[in-house]
Amino acid sequence: MGPNMTSITRVLTRIDEINRQLYPNFSSQQANPAKSKFVDVLNDVEKISRRKSDISGKTSYSELKDVIDDCAEKYNIDPELIRAMIQVESGWSTDAVSNKGAQGLMQLMPRTSAMLGVDDPFDPVQNIEGGVRYISDLTDKYRGDIEKALAAYNAGPARVDSGNIPEVSKRYVRNIMSIYRRLREAG
Strand, helix or coil at 144? coil
| Residue length of the chain | 187
Alpha carbon 53 to chain centroid, angstroms: 16
Distance CA 186, CA 6 (A): 52
Q: Which amino acid would we find at residue 151?
A: A
Is 89 annotated in the active site?
Answer: yes
Distance CA 89, CA 173 (A): 11
Catalytic residue among 17, 80, 89, 167: 89
Q: Which residues are catalytic?
A: 89
